[in-house]
A and B are shown apart, each in its own frame.
Chain A
Amino acid sequence: MGKAERRESREFYMLTFPWLVVFLLMSLYPMLYGLYLSFTNFAGFNYENVRYVGLRNYNNVFLDSDAMFALGRSFYIGSLNVLFSTVFGFLIAVLLNNKFKAIGFFRSLYYLPAILPITAVGLMWKQLFATNGVLNDFLSWIGFQPINWLGYDHAAMSLLILLSWGCGGGIIIYLAGLKGISPELYEAAAIDGAGAFRRFRLITIPLMTPVIFFNLVFGIIGSLQIFAQATLLSSNGGLMGVPIRPIYLYLVHTFQQIFMFQRYAYGLALLWVLFIITILLTLIVFGTSRLWVHYESGERKGG
């Protein structure tokens, strides 16, 4: 190693030192500490007699029928949310990729819901979903029976509507990807006699797979973390509200265990189970990406 290289290396570590220290103290250490606590009987106050209990908490996660039920709901609502936000986001981006007047205005308007605070979005939609709310006004206006949007039969659908309403972040990302596709490809295909739908299927979709892949990875991670949107739709509301069964999500159950019942160690075991599931899902998506994500030759983009 030359002298200049050693100096460069030293400077690198000097400049990244604050980040490294804060990462070790504020991220890595708490994470591992949490992992350790999940193998103990810690209940939020018994610092003096924290005892190792082996896999008991993890065993309880899989015996806890509420946790398993909530995990199922999180998978169900999470996968539908990923599906809807991918399809809507992608199709709206394709629509916005046409030449229109005032396209920038529409793009901004579609993106706006994605940056509104969850607090406002949740409470706003709760009012829209009310039995005497706007959605039922609209339904009766076009001649349908009103729906109990937040009741047992429709709560999951209502939550999905709320979540899909914020698909604007995906729109922007897909739009950027679409703008990167060279127009010559479409022109060449059109000369060869490919119709609009064929061009879409054989050019647009394959070239967009790296972007779809990126959104899929973050969509899965984010969807399993959905929490406040569900508690805000519950009848008692608030951050610690208990939603009805169809939208009783895994993190809701976890926070109930921790903040309402002081079951810290058990709650941490619940969190680590979810974390490991998230990692496994991400690895599966990464692992299968070779089969369906199209990379331009020689150049690896996305992710």
Chain B
Amino acid sequence: MTQHLATRFTLYGVLLALALVFSFPLYWMAANSLQPLFTGMTWFPERPTLANYRLAFTLQPYWMFFRNSCLLALISVGIPIITSFFSAFAFARLKARFKGVLFMVILATMMIPPTVTQIPQLVLFKQYGLLGTYWPWIISGLGGSPFIIFLYRQFFMNVPRELDEAARIDGCSTFAIIWRIYMPISIPVVATAAIMSFNASWGGDYLAPFMFLQERQYPLSTQLMQVGYILPSSPNVDLFQVKQAALLVFVLPILVVFLFGQRFLISGIMTGSIKS
């Protein structure tokens, strides 16, 4: 019994140590964002101040970049979570020639490194005058996202077929079946897709904006990589606490979405790996 207790004690110790490792950097960023300027790094802010947050918003047009991030996220989340529905239904429920081949294409596109298409896209978008516009994001959204199509398909496969057969006997068209039966029961998987694409857009989409957009259209993910916060009067002074404040505001939406939506997020990761 004592042996057993000792084991449990050690395991809890390991759990807590890991918790510290995984959360400390974030805590440290928050702590230093509250530290007064020109004071060096700290483990704990003894005289916390919010002045850095004000400077983060005023030394750069932070709101402009924040709004850009919101706009890109709105496009990258809002369009594919709806358009992916139709392809996913077709792959889950309809029989057709070459369906297997096309589904392999969807799986393959998820595995192609994005840079292989992005660099030639840059050349093509330049020729067609699409640089500096949001068309690249809108057009790819209209086709749906391969990952979301896959996610929805896995969900639809588990919907009992009797449901659409009954609807067909009642004279529903395929479109009506999608609209009236599948959309309402799919809210959890739509939430999963929305959260995953929000994270991918807000934090992960930094290279495409760098290539396809003008600087004043950059989202925070691109902009915060590019420049530091410096003192306007002497550009050599790096305002490191202000940068921490700016980064914290940047990750805040991710944290909030995670707090409320992690159930959906985790189910999405599992669908992507196990059930295939």
Which residues of A are in contact with B by a Cβ distance under 8 Å? 5, 8-9, 11-13, 15-16, 18-23, 25-27, 29-31, 33-34, 37, 42, 44, 47, 92, 95, 98, 100, 106, 108-113, 115-125, 127-128, 130, 132-134, 137, 165, 168-169, 172-173, 176-177, 180, 211, 214-215, 217-218, 221, 224-225, 228, 232, 237-239, 251, 254, 258, 264, 267-268, 271-272, 274-275, 278, 282, 301-303
Give the distance in Å from the alpha carbon of A9 to the alpha carbon of B120 in the complex. Answer: 34
Contacts of A137 in B (CB 8 A): 43
Min C-beta distance of B131 to chain A, whole Å: 13
Contact A108 B140 (CB under 8 A): no
Cβ of B222 < 8 Å from any Cβ of A?
yes
For the A-B complex with A12-B90, A47-B127, A218-B111 known, give 9 more contacts whose Cβ atoms are closer than 8 Å: A8-B95, A34-B123, A95-B11, A127-B29, A176-B269, A176-B273, A211-B273, A211-B274, A232-B225
Cβ of B189 < 8 Å from any Cβ of A?
no
Contact B15 A100 (CB under 8 A): yes
Q: 8 tightest A-B contacts by CB?
A: A22-B143, A117-B203, A34-B120, A12-B96, A15-B90, A30-B120, A12-B94, A9-B96
Contact A110 B225 (CB under 8 A): no
Min C-beta distance of B85 to chain A, whole Å: 9
Contact B143 A23 (CB under 8 A): yes
Contact A110 B18 (CB under 8 A): yes
Contact B139 A22 (CB under 8 A): yes
Min C-beta distance of A68 to chain B, whole Å: 19
Give the distance in Å from the alpha carbon of A110 to the alpha carbon of B15 in the complex. Answer: 10
| CB < 8 Å neighbour of A16 from B40, B41, B90 | B90
Binds A, one of B46-54, B155-163, B204-212: B204-212
Contact B123 A115 (CB under 8 A): no
Chain B residues 13 to 29 lying within 8 A of chain A, measured CB to CB, are 14-15, 18-19, 21-23, 25-26, 28-29
Contacts of A106 in B (CB 8 A): 15, 18-19
For residue B140, which residue of chain A has the nearest CB?
A: A26
Give the distance in Å from the alpha carbon of A303 to the alpha carbon of B70 in the complex. Answer: 34
Interface size for B (C-beta < 8 A) is: 86
Interface string of B215-227 (1 = CB under 8 A from A): 0000011101111
Q: List 10 A-B contacts (CB under 8 A).
A: A18-B142, A18-B143, A20-B143, A23-B109, A30-B120, A95-B15, A112-B22, A221-B111, A271-B113, A274-B113
Interface string of B27-42 (1 = CB under 8 A from A): 0110010000000110
Cβ of B97 < 8 Å from any Cβ of A?
yes
Cβ of B68 < 8 Å from any Cβ of A?
no
| CB < 8 Å neighbour of A117 from B91, B127, B174, B204 | B204
| CB < 8 Å neighbour of B203 from A20, A119, A134, A258 | A119
Interface string of B101-139 (1 = CB under 8 A from A): 010010001011111111111011001000000001001
Give the distance in Å from the alpha carbon of A47 to the alpha carbon of B123 in the complex. Answer: 10
For residue B143, which residue of chain A has the nearest CB?
A: A22
